[in-house]
A and B are shown apart, each in its own frame.
Chain A
Amino acid sequence: MRFTILLLAITAALCFNVSGCRDPEVTTYRVAKETPPAASAAAKGPAAAGPATMANTPVPTADGESLTWTAPAHWQAKPATAMRKGSYAVPTDGGPPADLSITAFPGDVGGEPANINRWRGQIQLSPASDADLTTAITRFENSGLTFAVVDFENGQQRVLGAIIPFRGSTWFVKLTGPATELTKEKPAFLTFLKTVKPPSTP
């Protein structure tokens, strides 16, 4: 009898207390002053929430010759990382800066549709069919390179992207940020793409 009561008491205690124990409480403490950070890690966006994880780093990026480019003066260069060949913060009016990344990987990395749909997924858009993508891609050639340019938005976020095959690798240029700000930035992005050249091109 006593044992049954004990069992029921344990069950009840578990049910009522387990979730309670895990709720964080208000805490107070005194710390030596620190300089307030200019921007917190999260403010720089999910990609900058921390350095590239080790799980990511073994992915081989394309080696060999690198494309060259000239970034607009108002873009702020960020240090390249193990994954990024180039990285820029594109200032916006008051909001968090838009993020421009230049990456390169060997092969075709799954092809254009898979990569474009991956970008669509990053701003919560459903995958587009191949037929839709054919009309969505703007193509042009410059300095001996072919550019496949896309532009998607979900009302708040926008992605301007370009896929550039180059000597057995595929280069990706992606600008992500607030939709309205990128509307203003698009001409600068397209001008920037025109500066992307193979290394030997003068």
Chain B
Amino acid sequence: MNPAVRSVRDFFVSLGLTVVLLALSLILVFASTLAQVDLGIYAVQEEFYRSFIAIWHVGGIFIPLPGGYLVGGLLLINLLSAHIYRLKLEWRKAGIQLTHSGLIVLLLGELFTGLWQEDFQMTISEGDTKNYSESFRLYELAVIDTTDPKMDEVVAIPDSKLAGAALVQHPKMPFRVATKAYFPNTTLARRDAAALSPAAAAVPVATRGIGSSVAVTPLPLTYKMNEMNVPSAVVELIGDEGSLGSWLVSPHLGAPQTLSHAGRTWRLELRIARAYKPFSLQLLKVTHDVYVGTDLPKNFSSRIKLTTPDGHDDREVLIYMNNPLRYGGYTFFQYQMDSSRGQTGLQVVRNPSWLLPYIACIMMTFGLLLQFGLSLRAFIAKRRTTAKPAVV
């Protein structure tokens, strides 16, 4: 083997690398725990664990750290390499092999969860029916063709595309959408209400729609768990014959804005990102029980009617704490409740790899049991051979 290649192999196979990576994991957990005070749990997950390089802000100092993907990825490679090069496939080591395989499945499970998990919410009022869930923090620009009297044709542009200031083009839209300005957290006020702050004055003014009379003030991003960033953007629509004008879009604006172009009517809405489902849920009743004589909650439950358009499913379901509804690959957890307003909040999770951690734990449990069992058997056998019969 080429010496350079061997050194690379030795690097990945070495136990030293394992120790260094485990030490780095400890530092990462420590740093991210402290960073959670300022950033909140979601930002910490994204910046420290679902990234290759994490930047830890301590005072005014920026400390780069290896992110979760880097540490986890290298650990995975290290473990796989060790499996292939150091651990021989033999019955005596079957327990260790199985335990390590479980660990590999666990690491892969976290990677797949980070990549594929959808975590949305669905807020429904009593009597209302919904067939979509909404993101906790992502927004989208919905460009909706409302010409058809029965159906809406929606082009949903994620806010990350708007933030990237890209020119968005889509076959379903007879115009392109160009971002003139995008602010991830804002507040709005009437433009003529008072002298504009310098930050608000720097925002381009929309030429069409209600935006021409609204002042946008950018705000710092919030990372608090109970607050949401509310973005605003000024977007220009460009048709074949030039600009159609620019619009201010923001969830702060009360009503969506419409325009007519090429004989069709369109609605523009910057709203919380939606994920439509092939079924709908109607909230029949919410129940919030408290312990007698106190305000302490005893039970939250939502009686839901689940229906599919083809009539295949039409049934009532009771969702309560620790008893979610699992349907169509989604899990609906009882998450929030406002019984005074007759409103329920369900957390809607879709995680195609949700079984992997369970499989990993089972593999590791059996691996360890097997390894200890084999060691015990060997130990007992050894004792038997070495123990001499007592001579009377």
Q: Closest CB-CB distance, B140 to chain A, in whole Å?
A: 8
Contact of A181 with B255 in the complex, beta carbons under 8 Å = no
Contact of B152 with A23 in the complex, beta carbons under 8 Å = no
CA A79 to CA B267, docked complex, whole Å: 31
CA A31 to CA B252, docked complex, whole Å: 24
Q: Which 7 A-B pairs have the closest CB atoms?
A: A51-B338, A42-B251, A24-B158, A46-B227, A180-B194, A94-B190, A178-B189
Contact of A1 with B230 in the complex, beta carbons under 8 Å = no
Which residue of A has the minimal Cβ distance to B80?
A: A7
A54-B9 contact in complex given A28-B155, A180-B194, C-beta closer than 8 Å = no
CA A27 to CA B143, docked complex, whole Å: 11
- A residues 50-101 in Cβ contact with B at 8 Å: 50-54, 56-58, 60-61, 63, 79-82, 92-96
CA A156 to CA B186, docked complex, whole Å: 10
Other-chain contact of B77, A11, A54, A63, A79 (Cβ < 8 Å): A11
Other-chain contact of B297, A1, A26, A33, A58 (Cβ < 8 Å): A58
Other-chain contact of A60, B50, B251, B295, B339 (Cβ < 8 Å): B295
| Residues of chain A having any CB pair with chain B under 8 Å | 1, 3-4, 7-8, 10-11, 14-15, 18, 21-34, 36, 38-43, 46-47, 49-54, 56-58, 60-61, 63, 79-82, 92-96, 124, 155-157, 178-181
**How many chain B residues touch the partner (CB < 8 A)?**
87
Instruction: Give the interface centre of A7, A40, A63 by most chain B CB atoms within 10 Å.
Output: A40
| Residues of chain B having any CB pair with chain A under 8 Å | 1-2, 5, 8-9, 12, 50, 52, 69, 73, 77, 80-81, 84, 111, 114-115, 121, 123, 131, 134, 138, 146, 148-158, 160-161, 168, 170, 172, 187-190, 193-194, 197, 200, 213-214, 217, 219-220, 222, 226-228, 230, 251-256, 267, 269, 271-273, 276, 288, 294-297, 300, 321, 334-341, 343-345
Which residue of B has the minimal Cβ distance to A34?
A: B152
Sample of 19 further A-B pairs with CB below 8 A, known A24-B161, A54-B300, A124-B219? A18-B111, A26-B156, A26-B168, A27-B156, A28-B172, A32-B150, A33-B146, A40-B272, A42-B252, A46-B228, A50-B336, A54-B321, A82-B338, A92-B190, A124-B220, A156-B187, A156-B219, A157-B187, A181-B193
Contact of B276 with A31 in the complex, beta carbons under 8 Å = yes
Residues of A within 8 A of B220 (CB): 124
Residues of B within 8 A of A178 (CB): 187, 189, 193
Contact of B230 with A42 in the complex, beta carbons under 8 Å = yes
Which residue of B has the minimal Cβ distance to A94?
A: B190
Contact of A95 with B188 in the complex, beta carbons under 8 Å = yes
8 contacts between A and B (CB under 8 A): A21-B115, A31-B276, A46-B227, A49-B227, A53-B335, A92-B190, A156-B189, A178-B187
Residues of A within 8 A of B12 (CB): 4, 7
CA A80 to CA B338, docked complex, whole Å: 10
Mostly, the B contact residues are mixed
Residues of B within 8 A of A22 (CB): 50, 114-115
Contact of B161 with A26 in the complex, beta carbons under 8 Å = yes
Instruction: Give the interface centre of B153, B160, B254 by most chain A CB atoms within 10 Å.
Output: B254
CA A81 to CA B269, docked complex, whole Å: 29
Q: Closest CB-CB distance, B161 to chain A, in whole Å?
A: 7
CA A78 to CA B172, docked complex, whole Å: 40
Which residue of B has the minimal Cβ distance to A40?
A: B251
Residues of A within 8 A of B9 (CB): 3-4
Other-chain contact of B151, A32, A49, A61, A180 (Cβ < 8 Å): A32
CA A79 to CA B125, docked complex, whole Å: 13
CA A157 to CA B193, docked complex, whole Å: 14
A93-B228 contact in complex given A3-B84, A7-B77, A26-B168, C-beta closer than 8 Å = no
CA A43 to CA B186, docked complex, whole Å: 11
Residues of A within 8 A of B73 (CB): 11, 14
